[in-house]
Amino acid sequence: MREPSHSVTRRGLLAAPLAAGLTAPLAAPALGQQAPIRVGVLHSLSGTMAISETALRDTVLMMVEAQNAQGGLLGRRLEAVVVDPASNWPLFAEKARELLQLSRVDVTFGCWTSVSRKSVLPVFEELNGLLFYPVQYEGEEESRNIFYTGAAPNQQAIPAVEYLLGADGGEAKRIALLGTDYVYPRTTNRILRGFLNSKGIADADILEEYTPFGHSDWQGIVARVKRFAGEGKKTAIVSTINGDANVPFYRELGNQGIRAEDIPCVAFSVGEEELAGIDTRPLVGHLAAWNYFMSVQSPANTEFLTMWRNYIRNPRRVTNDPMEATLIGFKMWAQAVTAARGTGVDAVREALYGQKVAAPSGYEVEMHRNHHLSKPVMIGEIRADGQFDIVSRTPTAIVAENWSPFIPENANRRR
């Protein structure tokens, strides 16, 4: 793979359209001599989260290059400014301030974990910056300076557990909630516990375990899950494990012979990118819940895959849900800049409401005034080649509930 530079230049070879229904020109239009539009990239390129976030850096650089190949925006060239917060949550805030105050970026695409997003949120609000956050999360947040293009709990976690409890998912009666120890897993599992209780699953039938980032010794925890499952009730695992800890976790599932037909595991933070470094043959049939899979059959996904392969030039590199969410956010931002006739945050924010994109998922997605997208929900089974067979999908895109009804404090909140 090439090492992308911080300042991205165009290549005539890349001619993938950015907006649905448009065809890229045979020759890229000349760009004006105005100051470039600066695009911040705030993703971990080292540390425990690099396994997931590096691909998102690459996606933004691909989109910048593609936009420049079409003449930039408003006759101005786009320039990417890449920083590495190195999976260090306080450093995310420092790098965000650097992007906004020193590099003067017009927009930022970044963060994966909720702790990194919460670290930068006050910086973006203080300096009136614009952040696109592309990863599923726990909800319970709404900022005028952040657009959330990943899933809220009702667009991933709740439907996934509904699937496990239903006949198609094996009618699980006990759930093991395994997560990395930070805000996203703990809040999501609080929501899921309330949901499970509402479905008649008692607290005694819910096992909850948390481990640090980068955790590698899963033998004891997986053995506890096996004992929990051996007490006479059908059991499933719900994983909110993040980053490179997933590699030894899945390896241990295989080592201890946990098969999908016995104890299915559904993951919320594991997609094609994370599975690329794992022998997935022992994991066939285990599940992931996302809003997009690389295996989706749609014209927009064919376009996305062609664009990615032309850019990355590595047939082993895959696409995944947060990459699609990054692409959607970039397209919507570009459409809003065009509609606003400028990059001013306040004008672009207003122009973003109601923006629609024909997404690689095969669905049209829309940005709502709560700064969240309507998105489809898909359940996929792991295949031996590390891809997913889609076994369930919603007929339409689902509007996000960023304030969960399973959090008691939200009872009187207007939605």
pLDDT, one tens digit per residue, over 231-255 is 999 999 999 999 999 999 999 999 9
Mean pLDDT across the stretch 369-388?
97
CA 175, 181, 184, 186: dihedral to nearest 10 degrees?
50
Mean pLDDT across the stretch 86-97?
98
Contact 70, 14 (CB under 8 A): no
Contact 142, 370 (CB under 8 A): yes
Beta-bridge partners for 393: 378
pLDDT at 142: 96
Q: Name the band, by pLDDT with cuts 50, 70 and 90, for residue 24.
A: very low
pLDDT at 26: 37
Contact 43, 53 (CB under 8 A): yes
Percentage of residues in the chain having pLDDT higher than 70: 92
Mean pLDDT across the stretch 221-236?
97
Distance of CA 335 to the CA centre of its chain: 21
Measured CA to CA in angstroms, residue 362 lies from 8, 296, 358 at distances of 29, 7, 7
Reported as half-sphere exposure (CB side, CA atoms, 13 A), residue 290 has a value of 30
> Which residue ranges does the chain devote to CATH 3.40.50.2300?
37-150+296-374, 154-290+378-410
Contact 126, 145 (CB under 8 A): no
Mean pLDDT across the stretch 388-397?
97
pLDDT digits 0-9 by tens, 149-189 = 999 999 999 999 999 999 887 899 999 999 999 999 999 99
CA distance 266 to 105: 38
Mean pLDDT of the chain: 92
Beta strands in 127-272 (DSSP E): 131-133, 146-148, 174-180, 206-211, 235-240, 265-267
**How do the residues of the chain divide into helix, strand and coil, expressed in percent and rounded to 5?**
35, 20, 45
Adjacency order of strands within the sheet including 78-83: 78-83, 37-42, 107-110, 131-133, 146-148
Is the pLDDT at 352 greater than 70? The verdict is yes
Is the pLDDT at 369 greater than 60? The verdict is yes
CA distance 311 to 59: 9
Is the pLDDT at 16 greater than 70? The verdict is no
Is the pLDDT at 135 greater than 70? The verdict is yes
Contact 125, 371 (CB under 8 A): no
pTM of whole model > 0.85? yes
Mean pLDDT across the stretch 356-371?
98
Class of the CATH domain delimited by 37-150+296-374: alpha beta
Mode of pairing for the β-strands spanning 107-110 and 37-42: parallel
pLDDT at 25: 38
pLDDT at 231: 95
Is the pLDDT at 6 greater than 80? The verdict is no
pLDDT digits 0-9 by tens, 289-328 = 999 999 999 999 999 999 999 999 999 999 999 999 999 9
Mean pLDDT across the stretch 28-40?
78
More confident residue, 38 or 10: 38
Query: How is residue 395 written in tokens?
Result: 């007929």
Q: Name the band, by pLDDT with cuts 50, 70 and 90, for residue 334.
A: very high
Class of the CATH domain delimited by 154-290+378-410: alpha beta
Estimate the crossing angle of helix 321-340 against helix 50-69, to 10 degrees: 40
Percentage of residues in the chain having pLDDT higher than 90: 87
Is the pLDDT at 28 greater than 90? The verdict is no
Is the pLDDT at 113 greater than 90? The verdict is yes
Sign of the C-alpha dihedral, residues 107, 113, 118, 119? Answer: negative
